[in-house]
Structure 1
Protein backbone atom coordinates (compact mmCIF):
# COMPACT_ATOMS: atom_id res chain seq x y z
CA UNK A 1 0.00 0.00 0.00
CA UNK A 2 1.44 3.38 -1.03
CA UNK A 3 0.27 6.49 0.83
CA UNK A 4 1.50 9.99 1.66
CA UNK A 5 2.77 11.53 4.89
CA UNK A 6 -0.21 12.47 7.04
CA UNK A 7 -2.53 9.89 5.49
CA UNK A 8 -4.58 7.61 7.73
CA UNK A 9 -5.14 3.86 7.32
CA UNK A 10 -7.97 1.99 9.01
CA UNK A 11 -7.05 -1.65 9.66
CA UNK A 12 -10.18 -3.78 9.95
CA UNK A 13 -10.19 -6.75 12.31
CA UNK A 14 -12.07 -9.22 10.14
CA UNK A 15 -12.12 -11.82 12.91
CA UNK A 16 -11.85 -11.79 16.72
CA UNK A 17 -8.48 -13.59 16.49
CA UNK A 18 -6.68 -10.90 14.46
CA UNK A 19 -5.00 -7.57 15.05
CA UNK A 20 -2.61 -5.20 13.28
CA UNK A 21 0.57 -3.92 14.87
CA UNK A 22 3.89 -2.50 13.73
CA UNK A 23 7.01 -4.63 13.71
CA UNK A 24 9.96 -3.47 15.80
CA UNK A 25 12.75 -2.24 13.52
CA UNK A 26 10.44 -1.91 10.52
CA UNK A 27 9.24 1.64 11.05
CA UNK A 28 11.13 4.89 10.36
CA UNK A 29 13.24 6.48 13.09
CA UNK A 30 11.07 8.74 15.20
CA UNK A 31 7.81 7.15 14.03
CA UNK A 32 5.26 5.99 16.59
CA UNK A 33 4.72 2.24 16.86
CA UNK A 34 1.12 1.01 16.80
CA UNK A 35 -0.69 -2.04 18.13
CA UNK A 36 -4.37 -2.75 17.71
CA UNK A 37 -6.18 -4.85 20.28
CA UNK A 38 -7.19 -8.36 19.34
CA UNK A 39 -10.41 -8.40 17.34
CA UNK A 40 -10.64 -4.60 17.19
CA UNK A 41 -10.09 -2.20 14.30
CA UNK A 42 -7.22 0.27 14.59
CA UNK A 43 -6.73 3.57 12.79
CA UNK A 44 -3.18 4.83 12.23
CA UNK A 45 -2.00 8.19 10.89
CA UNK A 46 1.43 7.89 9.28
CA UNK A 47 3.38 11.05 10.10
CA UNK A 48 6.87 10.09 8.88
CA UNK A 49 7.92 8.96 5.39
CA UNK A 50 9.31 5.45 5.05
CA UNK A 51 8.36 1.78 5.25
CA UNK A 52 6.14 0.43 8.00
CA UNK A 53 6.09 -3.33 8.43
CA UNK A 54 3.03 -4.67 10.22
CA UNK A 55 1.78 -8.04 11.42
CA UNK A 56 -1.12 -9.89 12.92
CA UNK A 57 0.52 -11.02 16.16
CA UNK A 58 -1.02 -14.51 16.47
CA UNK A 59 -0.48 -15.25 12.77
CA UNK A 60 2.90 -13.55 12.25
CA UNK A 61 4.75 -16.88 11.87
CA UNK A 62 2.20 -17.92 9.23
CA UNK A 63 3.02 -14.89 7.08
CA UNK A 64 0.14 -12.56 7.93
CA UNK A 65 2.19 -9.40 7.40
CA UNK A 66 2.26 -6.34 5.17
CA UNK A 67 4.03 -3.11 4.26
CA UNK A 68 2.77 0.44 4.19
CA UNK A 69 4.97 2.69 2.02
CA UNK A 70 4.72 6.33 3.02
CA UNK A 71 6.21 8.51 0.28
CA UNK A 72 9.87 7.52 -0.15
CA UNK A 73 10.92 4.26 1.60
CA UNK A 74 13.98 5.84 3.28
CA UNK A 75 14.38 3.02 5.83
CA UNK A 76 14.22 0.16 3.32
CA UNK A 77 17.61 -1.37 4.15
CA UNK A 78 16.93 -1.30 7.91
CA UNK A 79 13.50 -2.88 7.37
CA UNK A 80 14.97 -5.60 5.15
CA UNK A 81 17.54 -6.42 7.85
CA UNK A 82 14.89 -7.36 10.44
CA UNK A 83 14.81 -11.12 11.03
CA UNK A 84 11.41 -12.66 10.29
CA UNK A 85 9.92 -15.92 11.57
CA UNK A 86 8.50 -18.74 9.44
CA UNK A 87 6.37 -17.78 6.45
CA UNK A 88 6.70 -14.06 7.29
CA UNK A 89 10.23 -14.20 5.87
CA UNK A 90 9.01 -15.43 2.46
CA UNK A 91 6.10 -12.98 2.40
CA UNK A 92 8.37 -10.00 3.14
CA UNK A 93 10.78 -11.19 0.44
CA UNK A 94 7.87 -11.03 -2.03
CA UNK A 95 6.77 -7.61 -0.78
CA UNK A 96 10.27 -6.15 -1.01
CA UNK A 97 10.69 -7.57 -4.52
CA UNK A 98 7.44 -5.82 -5.56
CA UNK A 99 8.69 -2.62 -3.96
CA UNK A 100 12.00 -2.75 -5.81
CA UNK A 101 10.50 -3.82 -9.15
CA UNK A 102 7.00 -2.38 -9.53
Structure 2
Protein backbone atom coordinates (compact mmCIF):
# COMPACT_ATOMS: atom_id res chain seq x y z
CA UNK A 1 0.00 0.00 0.00
CA UNK A 2 2.74 2.59 0.80
CA UNK A 3 4.33 1.95 -2.62
CA UNK A 4 1.06 2.87 -4.40
CA UNK A 5 0.76 6.06 -2.34
CA UNK A 6 4.32 7.00 -3.22
CA UNK A 7 3.67 6.30 -6.90
CA UNK A 8 0.53 8.48 -6.85
CA UNK A 9 2.40 11.28 -5.09
CA UNK A 10 5.20 11.20 -7.67
CA UNK A 11 2.67 11.21 -10.51
CA UNK A 12 0.80 14.16 -8.98
CA UNK A 13 4.04 16.13 -8.60
CA UNK A 14 5.09 15.37 -12.16
CA UNK A 15 1.75 16.51 -13.57
CA UNK A 16 1.80 19.65 -11.44
CA UNK A 17 5.28 20.53 -12.67
CA UNK A 18 4.32 20.31 -16.35
CA UNK A 19 4.48 23.81 -17.86
CA UNK A 20 1.35 25.28 -19.38
CA UNK A 21 1.14 24.84 -23.10
CA UNK A 22 1.65 27.94 -25.19
CA UNK A 23 -1.45 29.18 -27.01
CA UNK A 24 -1.95 30.00 -30.67
CA UNK A 25 -3.88 33.14 -31.59
CA UNK A 26 -5.14 34.30 -34.97
CA UNK A 27 -5.53 37.90 -36.14
CA UNK A 28 -7.49 38.52 -39.35
CA UNK A 29 -6.42 41.31 -41.71
CA UNK A 30 -9.76 42.59 -42.98
CA UNK A 31 -11.03 45.08 -45.54
CA UNK A 32 -14.12 45.52 -43.34
CA UNK A 33 -14.57 44.58 -39.68
CA UNK A 34 -16.28 45.58 -36.46
CA UNK A 35 -14.17 48.76 -36.18
CA UNK A 36 -14.79 49.82 -39.81
CA UNK A 37 -12.69 49.45 -42.92
CA UNK A 38 -9.07 48.27 -43.05
CA UNK A 39 -8.71 46.65 -39.65
CA UNK A 40 -6.98 43.87 -37.79
CA UNK A 41 -9.42 41.70 -35.86
CA UNK A 42 -8.87 41.50 -32.99
CA UNK A 43 -6.86 44.73 -33.05
CA UNK A 44 -5.93 44.41 -29.38
CA UNK A 45 -4.75 41.06 -28.11
CA UNK A 46 -3.49 40.11 -24.64
CA UNK A 47 -1.34 36.95 -24.65
CA UNK A 48 1.22 35.20 -22.48
CA UNK A 49 4.96 34.84 -23.10
CA UNK A 50 5.57 31.93 -25.46
CA UNK A 51 2.25 32.31 -27.29
CA UNK A 52 2.19 32.46 -31.08
CA UNK A 53 0.18 34.96 -33.12
CA UNK A 54 -0.63 34.28 -36.75
CA UNK A 55 -1.74 37.13 -39.00
CA UNK A 56 -4.10 35.94 -41.73
CA UNK A 57 -4.77 38.18 -44.76
CA UNK A 58 -8.23 38.12 -46.29
CA UNK A 59 -6.97 40.11 -49.27
CA UNK A 60 -3.66 40.10 -51.16
CA UNK A 61 -3.15 43.80 -50.34
CA UNK A 62 -2.53 43.27 -46.58
CA UNK A 63 0.52 42.49 -44.48
CA UNK A 64 1.52 42.75 -40.84
CA UNK A 65 4.70 44.54 -39.87
CA UNK A 66 5.98 45.21 -36.35
CA UNK A 67 6.82 48.82 -35.54
CA UNK A 68 7.64 48.52 -31.84
CA UNK A 69 8.69 45.58 -29.67
CA UNK A 70 10.09 45.37 -26.15
CA UNK A 71 13.87 45.17 -25.84
CA UNK A 72 15.03 41.88 -27.40
CA UNK A 73 11.44 41.13 -28.40
CA UNK A 74 10.44 39.55 -31.69
CA UNK A 75 10.00 41.66 -34.79
CA UNK A 76 8.36 40.67 -38.06
CA UNK A 77 7.57 41.94 -41.53
CA UNK A 78 5.02 39.85 -43.36
CA UNK A 79 4.88 39.56 -47.13
CA UNK A 80 1.85 41.04 -48.87
CA UNK A 81 -1.05 38.60 -48.99
CA UNK A 82 0.76 35.94 -46.93
CA UNK A 83 0.25 34.56 -43.44
CA UNK A 84 2.94 35.41 -40.94
CA UNK A 85 3.38 33.78 -37.53
CA UNK A 86 5.43 35.12 -34.66
CA UNK A 87 6.15 33.58 -31.26
CA UNK A 88 6.30 36.28 -28.60
CA UNK A 89 8.64 35.38 -25.74
CA UNK A 90 9.38 38.82 -24.24
CA UNK A 91 6.87 40.62 -22.06
CA UNK A 92 5.72 44.03 -23.20
CA UNK A 93 3.68 45.92 -25.76
CA UNK A 94 4.06 45.21 -29.47
CA UNK A 95 2.72 47.70 -32.03
CA UNK A 96 2.14 46.62 -35.62
CA UNK A 97 0.62 47.91 -38.84
CA UNK A 98 -0.44 47.00 -42.34
CA UNK A 99 2.15 48.90 -44.38
CA UNK A 100 -0.04 49.90 -47.35
CA UNK A 101 -3.01 50.81 -45.12
CA UNK A 102 -1.31 52.70 -42.29
CA UNK A 103 -2.81 55.99 -43.54
CA UNK A 104 -6.25 54.40 -43.06
CA UNK A 105 -5.45 53.48 -39.46
CA UNK A 106 -4.83 49.76 -39.95
CA UNK A 107 -2.86 49.22 -36.75
CA UNK A 108 -2.90 46.82 -33.84
CA UNK A 109 -1.45 46.10 -30.41
CA UNK A 110 -0.41 42.91 -28.66
CA UNK A 111 0.27 42.92 -24.92
CA UNK A 112 2.44 40.02 -23.83
CA UNK A 113 2.30 39.55 -20.06
CA UNK A 114 3.20 42.78 -18.26
CA UNK A 115 3.36 46.04 -20.24
CA UNK A 116 7.00 46.70 -19.32
CA UNK A 117 7.53 49.14 -22.22
CA UNK A 118 4.21 51.01 -22.08
CA UNK A 119 5.84 54.45 -22.05
CA UNK A 120 7.87 53.63 -25.19
CA UNK A 121 4.70 52.27 -26.84
CA UNK A 122 2.83 55.49 -26.06
CA UNK A 123 5.65 57.57 -27.54
CA UNK A 124 5.82 55.43 -30.68
CA UNK A 125 2.03 55.62 -31.01
CA UNK A 126 2.26 59.42 -31.14
CA UNK A 127 4.78 59.16 -33.97
CA UNK A 128 2.66 56.63 -35.85
CA UNK A 129 -0.50 58.72 -35.39
CA UNK A 130 1.14 61.50 -37.39
CA UNK A 131 1.16 59.14 -40.39
CA UNK A 132 -2.52 58.19 -40.07
CA UNK A 133 -5.06 60.22 -42.07
CA UNK A 134 -8.26 58.32 -41.18
CA UNK A 135 -9.29 56.51 -37.98
CA UNK A 136 -6.59 58.28 -35.94
CA UNK A 137 -8.40 57.37 -32.72
CA UNK A 138 -7.92 53.62 -33.19
CA UNK A 139 -4.37 53.43 -31.92
CA UNK A 140 -5.08 55.38 -28.72
CA UNK A 141 -8.26 53.36 -28.15
CA UNK A 142 -6.29 50.12 -28.43
CA UNK A 143 -3.54 51.49 -26.15
CA UNK A 144 -6.19 52.30 -23.54
CA UNK A 145 -6.82 48.54 -23.26
CA UNK A 146 -3.24 47.83 -22.13
CA UNK A 147 -3.10 47.04 -18.43
Runs of 5+ unmatched residues, structure 1: none
Runs of 5+ unmatched residues, structure 2: 1-44
What displacement does 1:33 show? 1.2
Larger radius of gyration: 2
Which residue of 88, 96, 120 maps to 1:54?
Answer: 96
Q: Deviations over 1:28-60 (max 9, x none)?
A: 011131011000000110010000001000001
Greater helix percent: which structure?
2
Q: TM-score, structure 1 length as denominator?
A: 0.89
Greater strand percent: which structure?
2
Which residue of 22, 36, 61 maps to 2:66?
Answer: 22
- Higher RCO (C-alpha under 8 Å, 6+ residues apart): 1
The 3-state SS of whatever aligns with 2:146 is helix
**Count of aligned positions:** 98
Structure 1 segments of 4 or more deviating over 3 A? none
Q: TM-score, structure 2 length as denominator?
A: 0.63
